Structure 1
Amino acid sequence: MISRIAQERSHLELSTIYEVCRILGDSLDIQRTFRAALNTLAAQLGLTRAMIVLADADPEGDEGRLTVHSAVGLSREQVERGHWTEGEGVIGRVYESGLPVVVTNVQDSAEFIDRTGAFGPQEGKRLAFIVMPLRTDQITLGVLAAQREVEGMARLSDDQRLLTMVATLLAQSLALHRSVAAEHARLQLETTRLQKALSQEAPRRRYSLDNVVGHSKTMQRVFAEVHQAAPSRSTVLLRGESGTGKEEIARAIHYLSPRKEAPFIKVNCAALTESLLESELFGHEKGAFTGAVGERKGRFELAHGGTLFLDEVGDISPGFQAKLLRVLQEREFERVGGSRPVKVDVRLICATNRDLERMVQRGEYRADLYYRINVVSIFLPPLRERRDDIPPLVAHFLDRYNKENHRHLKVTPEAMQVLSNCYWPGNVRELQNCIERTATMVHGEAIRDLAFPCKSNRCLTQTLHHMEKEDAVAPVSSTITVNKVQRPDGSSIPVDSRRAPAAAGHGDAFFDDEDDEDTVVRIGPTERLTDASVLPPRQFGAEPPQGERERLIWAMEQCGWVQAKAARLLKVTPRQLGYALQKHRIEVRKL
């Protein structure tokens, strides 16, 4: 009989521990799990009442107090009355000492203090009060208190052993909860701090005009225009040469506008064909074309509520110009392969380095689209027109290079003078490339003037100085001065004497004395022809004609029909010249 009762008790304790473990492992919400664990104890052990009392800070002083956290068998009013100080009554003494206490009959205990009014003695009943400390890592976090009616063969020692195990599980769960809560609070504070820093500093540092280096008067005018245009929703057209920072200005406009919290989406129109550009901007439906395995939102939809930046908008095809015009007029479009109109609220910022006015005149660009995108025009000056910004730009790029590569490079005054005198046809992008290339290859911690490739006539971009041409062999936009060079037979030939100014070129390395002696007209077959009668008859005089075919023939005549020399005279590559000769079906004469 005793063995069967022991087995039943052992099975009861095991199932109780299992249920409590399962409940505590389901969630970190101790308010819910502790109450569920108390309900399990009450049901399995036949407890009339049970409660978990935790230490809490006294709001009126430094002395700690104990309050009821979770309870079973107590009313709300009784729970609210449950307050003890450390060392007060059985609850306070167990918390203070960390040792369990079993009161076999609350009616006979002078130390028992019932603040709740629920655990007091009852007439005709023997009520025991068992209190277990919740301890972990030698720290008492609270107490577990339970009351049962003692009758029959009930053994309080069995209840004490089981409640000791349950108290240990509750203490571990409470410690884990507090650890997770503390870490969560720390992460929330860190997140709040970072969000505040990002909202106040990061946009200003990364995207606002404070980070667009521009101390010159021309850039200050650009900044003023950006501040004026940013708050509105008008379409902005950014004009300027390649590399002047149009995308950074577009970002600044977005982050200075009321749409700064919405997306900023950018698209390079020149990098995509017409069909790809349509799918990229408008999206496509499933099955719209081969490979369209699913529905895809376009950039217009992704930028809804925000800003869409169309770079190189002057390079889109005439067919796509009409589609883009409709979107700008109606503010709606249809996906590729779809028929349902999609409405969007997007602010458009466009950028181009093309002469749109001339393209409109030639019929290459739609006039109605031009008027749609050219609402607010902001012209970004080339770097050569704001040389005051070169030193701070160099300092900015070099500082970033030093941080990324853990170096301590500095620029000498002589090197800064070289950089300030360069022409920079690639503008800020070329300056950044030059700084990074030179900083990578330089020896030591100082960048001197001789470290730049242009000082040894090895500049990679000097051929870009005169590339503003209408066609492959058109003369550059700058004024051409034609000088006369005497031939051995007494006749004269024209020589293009145009030079990049000293303040606009890469120092003297571009046009030194050695280059002057190596012009296209001073070497070649024509220098060996002393008899003018041997030369073939010329169609043109000394002045370059206007037509492309005529200029080709003129250049070939001046250079004795040597294509390499003619290409140098026209400031084009030999390959470009060869294509132009084939295009106009000009037969190269053999002398």
Structure 2
Amino acid sequence: MSITPPGLTTLRRVELETLYRVGEILSRSLDFRHTSREILRQLDEQAGMSRGMVSVLDAASGDLVVNAINGSDDDGRERVRYQPGEGLLGLILEEKRTLALPRLGDEPRFLDRLGLFDRRLPFVAAPINQGGDLQGVLAVQPNTPDDGLLDERTRFVEMVASLVGQSIRLSLGVEQERRQLADERDSLRRTVRHQYGFDNIVGRSAPMRRVFDQVRMVSKWNTTVLLRGETGTGKELIANAIHYHSPRSNGAYVRLNCASLPENLLESELFGHEKGAFTGAVAARRGRFESADGGTIFLDEIGEISPAFQAKLLRVLQEGEFERVGGTRTIKVNVRVIAATHRDLEAAVDAGEFREDLYYRLNVMPIVLPALRDRMEDIPDLARFLAGRVGELQGRRLSLTDGALRRLSQYSWPGNVRELENCLERASVMSESGAIDAELIHLDRSREMSGGIQPLVASSVIDAVAPEVAAATTPADDDPDERARVIAALERAGWVQARAARLLGMTPRQIAYRILTLNIEVKKI
């Protein structure tokens, strides 16, 4: 009958407690570098092995690379490598077996590259295996000279290495999936950036070049942007380009058409609601602002929201905080706001339909998109681009004849780009060969002649220009150059904007906005 020495009983109790804690550490995280350090710390504090190191196999080179050292966050030693057969770790890499030494200094192959281990103490290094293949090495030193229990300590280190091997298998699988997801994410981001980039916004005319310059500048910052222009001029395309070329492009991009929902649903949609806030609210729900935290929210048709809701929106823009419908907890968000409207907000402010403070909060960086009739030179390129897009959807190549392009260029396009795209899609359906000629272009001349064209916000086509200011105040002329009309009024008024506004029948705010959007340099007299 053998008798277990008292020291061995105590050692096994300590080892059992340490194994339990090592298992807990491995169950909490799949970050192998972090868990390796935590395991080495437990071996130090519980099992009396203060000098510990974990190395992992570099699959590309076949070397062992130091991954974690007890008591070190990263002092450069973790990058030390061992080739097969090089030093004690290289010997384990080559022979794939546990190494146990009663006194480290007696082994001539010890290289001491790390300056970590004590030559006077025992040394144990066990291979970390995963699926039968060596993936790394766990090396430790007891804090006391050999007491005859080295074999027991060696079995203990092998058990810890076995647990670590299972962790490596899981963490490698998770890391592989993470890399695949990151690659897919980066690929999607590149696709989205291309899809919403400037290449998909066609225009070489002076008005569009001015828009592109403004978009490139404002994209760099978190400034609130107000996109203005008629329906169908491409405000959403510009909003997309601003977000995907901004520092927030990796964040969420949330869009909402404010005119598509009644006020009570709009509040819930933007701010979210708590469970039981109203009939049908069976669970709490995040709103669009919460979803856009750290990113951008695009609010289309902002001019259509009611005065009551305008006050609630103003608070979010000013303070970055709100409460969900039916809730009391204040939620703070960091969101970049891009808004769009086709309405004349200055007139809405003067009529009391739109809050003046909200107007100024939104109108930090206004960008006015020109109507298609104000950039007629873009129609050929735009028509070819849209025909190509329609052709992709139909799975064939569409082409436009010179006659078709001339016919398209002779129409004023009251429905702007949206109408042009519909016209081309209608023509493509009627073309069996894919060639679209003038005969297939059907235009709504009655709408054009009946004055169905909407006035552009701060448009260059509002009233006629005349040599005298008196004529400038009369909108019945054939010259569409409003810029000259405004300049003429400013000249007669001595460049006093309030006086020029009265001559033009405008409010001071309206003329100030036109000076900005028409790029008029104000003279100092």
TMscore range, shorter length: 0.5 to 0.7
Question: Deviations along 1:41-87, whole A, 9 cap, x unmatched?
Answer: 7999x877774453799xxxx99788694469x9xx9x99x998864
| Structure 1 stretches lacking a partner, 5+ long | 122-126, 471-591
Q: Equivalent residue of 2:233, what SS?
A: coil
1:403-414 aligned within 5 A: 403-404=392-393, 406-414=395-403
Contact 2:100/2:125 (8 A) holds in 1: yes
* Deviation of the 1:389 alpha carbon: 1.7
2:437 alignment partner AA: D
* Deviation of the 1:100 alpha carbon: 3.5
- Tell me the percent identity: 31
> Against the structure 1 CA distance between its residues 282 and 178, is the aligned structure 2 distance closer, same or farther, given a 3 Å change threshold?
closer
Question: Deviations along 1:141-186, whole A, 9 cap, x unmatched?
Answer: 335455587668x693x66566545434434534654675677678
* Deviation of the 1:433 alpha carbon: 1.5
1:446-461 aligned within 5 A: 446-449=434-437, 452=440, 454=442, 461=444
Paired positions, count: 430
Which of structures 1 and 2 has the larger relative contact order (alpha carbons within 8 angstroms, sep 6+)? Answer: 2
Whole-Å separation in 2 of the counterparts to 1:227 and 1:169: 54
2:301 to 300, 307, 311: 311
Whole-Å separation in 1 of the counterparts to 2:107 and 2:288: 79
Question: Deviations along 1:332-391, whole A, 9 cap, x unmatched?
Answer: 89999999999999978553368x99xx7xxx9953558955989877554345432222
1:173 alignment partner AA: S
Whole-Å separation in 2 of the counterparts to 1:43 and 1:377: 63
* Deviation of the 1:430 alpha carbon: 1.3
* Deviation of the 1:112 alpha carbon: 7.1
> Against the structure 1 CA distance between its residues 450 and 169, is the aligned structure 2 distance closer, same or farther, given a 3 Å change threshold?
same
2:128 alignment partner AA: L
Q: Equivalent residue of 2:55, what SS?
A: strand
Q: Equivalent residue of 1:389, what SS?
A: helix
Matched, 1:352 2:336: no
Question: Deviations along 1:69-116, whole A, 9 cap, x unmatched?
Answer: 4469x9xx9x99x99886466555334433344446778x56475946
Matched, 1:132 2:122: no
Aligned to 2:55: 54
Q: Equivalent residue of 1:215, what SS?
A: coil
Q: Equivalent residue of 2:409, what SS?
A: helix
Aligned to 1:551: none
Q: Equivalent residue of 1:443, what SS?
A: coil
1:261-300 aligned within 5 A: 268=257, 270-272=259-261
Matched, 1:387 2:370: no
| Structure 2 stretches lacking a partner, 5+ long | 454-525
2:91 to 73, 90, 93: 93
Provide the aligned C-alpha RMSD in A: 6.6
1:98 alignment partner AA: K
1:216 alignment partner AA: S
1:237-256 aligned within 5 A: 238-240=228-230, 242-248=231-237
Q: Equivalent residue of 1:213, what SS?
A: coil
1:142 to 127, 137, 143: 137
Whole-Å separation in 1 of the counterparts to 2:186 and 2:67: 33
Contact 1:98/1:140 (8 A) holds in 2: no
2:204 to 215, 221, 235: 215
Q: Equivalent residue of 1:54, what SS?
A: strand
Whole-Å separation in 1 of the counterparts to 2:328 and 2:56: 66
Aligned to 1:367: 351
Q: TM-score, normalised by structure 1?
A: 0.49
1:429 alignment partner AA: R
Whole-Å separation in 1 of the counterparts to 2:122 and 2:330: 76
Contact 1:239/1:351 (8 A) holds in 2: yes
Q: Equivalent residue of 2:127, what SS?
A: strand
* Deviation of the 1:429 alpha carbon: 0.6
Contact 1:52/1:145 (8 A) holds in 2: yes
Contact 1:84/1:92 (8 A) holds in 2: yes
1:24 to 23, 26, 48: 26
Matched, 1:396 2:385: yes
Contact 2:33/2:67 (8 A) holds in 1: no
Aligned to 1:501: none
Bigger Rg, structure 1 or 2: 1
Q: Equivalent residue of 2:196, what SS?
A: helix
